[in-house]
Structure 1
Amino acid sequence: MGGTGPSEIWFSPVTRVLLLLGLLWEESLCQISRYETKRQPMVTVLEGMCAWVPCNISSPMEYNFKVFPKYGYWFKKRTYEKYDKLVATNDPDREVEIEDQGRFHFVGNPGMDNCFLSITETQKADSGQYYFWMERGEQVNQTYMKLLVYVNVTDLTQKPDIYIPEKLESGKAVTLNCSFPWVCEESKTFRFSWMGAALPSQQKVLSSSPYSEISFIPEPQHHGTNLTCQLTFPGHQLSTERTVQLSVSLFSAQENSSWPLMFTLLRGALMGAGFALTYGLTWLYYTRRS
């Protein structure tokens, strides 16, 4: 009856399967560790605007995880609390806190090797460190990857731009434009307000577009007065504005265009008067001599 040699170890079929799975599992962990992420170390955004955190995952070609479902999680680090705060995920079984719902959006797709984060209507409290965590489905849910990025929300110092002609003509209607291109498409409704002595009344316009316009007829008394375009964000105690000084021509375009004709007529009248005076003096001179 033959036995096994001193260098041979016998394993049952079940044990062999378990050992094989263990080797495959170890290899998968090694492969995951070779994942790389490409991201910016800091993202700076104006308060009330939108922040876009770019994030891309680069995986080795010989080990493709697209066949497994992937879930991504963006967390904000908490300094004085035990657990960090989940702000965005594509995992349907996880929820973010109520105050962050609707503002933080995980718009990436880990299955397509990207992990973008979008933050709308940023607040000063949003400043801090964020990191991304990825899981690869239930079968190997211990596999993960992290990255760290700092989001810096600064004061809203940017002002709207007002497009206005250098000279306004009295009595002629004009349309002015006010724009604030830093507002992102995901922002909720904000409000433009126009104020100034040249306007019949203060005008407020709710808008989802970063542009607003107003029409009015300037008069001579509006010369040197101020016109203000103000942008207000209803969800914040936040606003920004720009003020310009109107320069109104004292004469309308029609009046300005009639001046050359008036000068021509005046010059003709003076020439006529001069001719008549010369003729009269000449006639008087010869009459006296005779």
Structure 2
Amino acid sequence: MRVDISCNYLVRVVTIILFKLCKDFQCQFHFGYSLEVNTRVTVQELCSVTIPCAFTADDQKSFTNSSGYWNSRHHIIVASTNANVKGSKPNFLITGNPNKGDCTLTITDAKKEDSGMYYFEFEGPVRYNYQEKSITVNVTDSPKESEVVINSVHDCGSMNYTIIALIASGNIIAISLIAVGLYFLLKRLIIENKIGGGSRTKEYKVGDVNKSETLYQGLTVQTESVYHDIKSSS
């Protein structure tokens, strides 16, 4: 009997000591709390990246009226789903739903100052931070205009796409104008040829020099003239 009392007493003393140490050092001995995320993320400057993230709290994945926060290593909230709490980084967005155990983070138009460590914090039936599963974000130099990377996670800024779209549109418009110009030119030359009688030659003026050309040569000169007019006006 005396041995049992001594054992119980010892267990209680050890428990109290551990609890005291844990409180002093802000330990968190919580089972049933987990977080799955890629802890190292690299994104190019001016590009966007989505970081998939899932968590459990108290062995649960479904909650009501919960909130999620992503914090910097200095414990500053950078993104929040709580309407009453504003994140310090507008380009950091929690695109996941904490009520469904989703802590997915999206960074848009990444900047060099966005590089650093961040961790997720959950607020629901209990409040718990997953600082032990922090992520490290590394923002590299922006890509060249000729380099565009597209996949399901990374998405470069719209600037490169706009440039490509403008170039493509300009080429299409130029080709269309050339085609229309050639159509009316051919139509006019065919009519003139019928009226003039077959292979009659015609005078075409290029610059300050008058040249006598055949129908084919005239078409070539006019085509080049239309092309240069369109090119100089674009």
TM-score by length of 1: 0.42
Residue 89 of structure 1 aligns to which amino acid in structure 2? Answer: S
SS state of the match for residue 190, structure 1? helix
Higher strand share: 1
- 2:47 paired residue among 22, 25, 49: 49
Which of 1 and 2 has higher RCO (CA within 8 Å, sep 6+)? 2
Task: Give the distance between the partners of 2:164 and 2:77, measured in 1 at CA.
Answer: 31
Larger-gyration structure (1/2): 1
Aligned to 2:117: 129
Matches within 5 A, 1:156-235: 156-160=142-146, 180-182=148-150, 187=157, 190=159, 207=162, 211-212=165-166, 213=168, 214-215=170-171, 216=174
Deviation at 1:143, TM superposition (A): 4.3
Q: CA deviation at 1:58?
A: 4.4
Structure 2: any 5+ residue segments left out of the alignment? 1-27, 176-215, 218-234
User: Structure 1 unaligned runs (5+)?
Assistant: 1-28, 79-83, 162-179, 193-206, 218-253, 256-290
Provide the secondary structure at the position in 1 that maps to 2:84.
Answer: coil
Q: Give TM-score, length-normalised by structure 2.
A: 0.51
Alignment of 1:1-290 (within 5 A): 33-58=31-56, 63-64=59-60, 66-78=62-74, 84-97=75-88, 100-101=89-90, 103-136=91-124, 140-146=125-131, 147-160=133-146, 180-182=148-150, 187=157, 190=159, 207=162, 211-212=165-166, 213=168, 214-215=170-171, 216=174
Letter in 1 for 2:69: Y
Q: Distance in 1 between matches of 2:61 and 2:52?
A: 21
Q: Is the 8 A contact 1:76 1:85 kept in 2?
A: yes
Contact 2:96 2:102 in 1 (8 A): yes
1:112-147 CA distances to partner (integer Å, 9 max, x unpaired)? 1210111111111100001101111xxx44444443
CA contact (8 A) 1:52 1:118 kept: yes
Larger fraction in helix: 2
Q: 1:118 to 1:186 in 2, by over 3 A?
A: farther
